[in-house]
Chain A
């Protein structure tokens, strides 16, 4: 059984997004007419969308649509062949402002607490502040009892909670979540959603890739539907999920195969 951290406190101020005054801002974070090809295949094909500050946006679409590529672009890990990715007026993300949680969490060969400490150190948190920040993040994710456990021995749900808590180390303003509940049991899914809600309540903006329409309905206020490397529908989540207008989203949500 997963431990469900639903009696946990609200996100304390020192874990909330940190406004970094760098004179160029972050918002809107956007992808403008991006294309990307590899191996003679066009993976992204005129992808455009913008994220203003606040709220949860669900990014949906069939496998291979390019959702993970879009997230990696927004995290600054890859650049489009043509088109642009922008963070406010900037051409690179401000360090620590955007955090990406991978579909399969990359856990360091250290303890649970060691993984968080590492992220805090890279984020430049002064040594004397790290213990308090680490304790706050462990509590937030309900991982206090597992603090000294090797991270790679955690269960799927625990590992994903650690990845999420660790992503908050730099107090990001935009959190990119790539299928954070894929292959988790219902209790673990509920724990992750609960955590995500508290992160959003703390003021972070979230872009969530999910195949779970129910999850999108529960968490998101806006939904983007992606197909073959571009956005084919962008609408309030409730509307898109209840009455999709694009044929691709209609077919996907009806469980029909997309070609």
Chain B
């Protein structure tokens, strides 16, 4: 059972056999992470664009705050979300602790600053170039932000992929608020951590291989986005 080679063989068998429990864990992971990334993009991209374009008191402090939040330790986020969602916490009545929703909330908090900060940087660079042209056209605030977001679309795709990469590899926060309950909140990273500590290497290894493939896929997608941007002369 502790033999590495036989664990690896069992892991491969798990992947190719389409074991329902295995697939359930992978599916839940992707579902939670994709939902969190989607919410982060919907919130973080307009926010990042606004921070890039608007001039208001405290904007500089907000930019610094978002850049700092990019490096937020996941376990701290997990702890804070736990405190908020626990039965005696301010949102305890919602009963979300140890549900996929709690994991989505924690990952959204982790990913939104990344998406917002990367969006702000890309949009600010573009705005430096477009500002006078758009003002000369008489574009209003909404038209300006819309133009900048669309023209930064390749950078925004990269920002979303960076957020997805961070969320899918994250353990600490989802462990604390999700709890790794079988068939309810078991995701790849937490399962790997727990199964490994229990010496159940086959399942851990199988999930590790899938996680590695996702990570490679994200990197390939980032490169693909970059190549496409250069190919169409939009870089």
Residues of A within 8 A of B (CB): 72, 75-77, 95-96, 98-100, 102, 106, 108-110, 118-119, 121-123, 150-153, 170
Q: A179 CB to closest chain B CB, in angstroms?
A: 16
Q: CB distance A109 to B151 under 8 Å?
A: yes
User: A residues within 8 A CB of B232?
Assistant: 150, 153
| Top 5 A-B pairs, shortest CB-CB distance | A153-B233, A150-B233, A95-B138, A106-B133, A109-B234
User: A residues within 8 A CB of B130?
Assistant: 106, 108
Q: B189 CB to closest chain A CB, in angstroms?
A: 37
**Contact residues of B between 134 and 180, Cβ < 8 Å to A:** 134-139, 143, 147, 150-151
- Apart from A77-B135, A77-B136, A150-B234, what are 15 other A-B pairs with CB-CB below 8 Å? A76-B135, A77-B132, A98-B136, A100-B136, A102-B132, A102-B133, A106-B129, A106-B132, A108-B130, A109-B234, A122-B137, A122-B143, A123-B138, A152-B233, A170-B138
User: A residues within 8 A CB of B133?
Assistant: 102, 106
Q: CB distance B233 to A108 under 8 Å?
A: no
CA distance A151 to B234 in the complex (A): 9
Residues A170 and B129 in contact in the complex (CB < 8 Å), given A108-B147, A150-B232, A150-B233: no
Residues of B within 8 A of A (CB): 129-130, 132-139, 143, 147, 150-151, 232-234
Q: CB distance A122 to B138 under 8 Å?
A: yes
Q: Can you list 16 A-B contacts with CB-CB less than 8 angstroms, sorted by A residue number?
A: A77-B135, A77-B136, A98-B136, A99-B136, A106-B130, A108-B147, A109-B234, A110-B150, A110-B151, A119-B137, A122-B137, A122-B139, A123-B138, A150-B233, A152-B234, A170-B138
CA distance A119 to B132 in the complex (A): 14
CA distance A228 to B234 in the complex (A): 38
Q: CB distance B234 to A118 under 8 Å?
A: no
User: B residues within 8 A CB of A72?
Assistant: 132
Residues A96 and B151 in contact in the complex (CB < 8 Å), given A122-B143, A150-B232: no
Q: Which of B132, B133, B139, B147 has the most CB of A within 10 A?
A: B133
CA distance A109 to B137 in the complex (A): 17
Closest to A118 in B: B147
Q: B227 CB to closest chain A CB, in angstroms?
A: 14
Q: B127 CB to closest chain A CB, in angstroms?
A: 11
User: A residues within 8 A CB of B147?
Assistant: 108, 118
Q: B202 CB to closest chain A CB, in angstroms?
A: 48
CA distance A122 to B143 in the complex (A): 7
Q: B150 CB to closest chain A CB, in angstroms?
A: 8
Contact of B151 among A95, A99, A108, A153 (CB under 8 A): A108
Q: Which of A95, A106, A119, A151 has the most CB of B within 10 A?
A: A106
Residues A170 and B137 in contact in the complex (CB < 8 Å), given A150-B234, A153-B233: yes
Closest to A105 in B: B133
CA distance A180 to B233 in the complex (A): 23
Q: B73 CB to closest chain A CB, in angstroms?
A: 36
Q: CB distance A123 to B136 under 8 Å?
A: no
Closest to B137 in A: A122
User: A residues within 8 A CB of B135?
Assistant: 76-77
Q: B233 CB to closest chain A CB, in angstroms?
A: 4
Q: B159 CB to closest chain A CB, in angstroms?
A: 16
Q: A248 CB to closest chain B CB, in angstroms?
A: 28
Q: CB distance B143 to A75 under 8 Å?
A: no
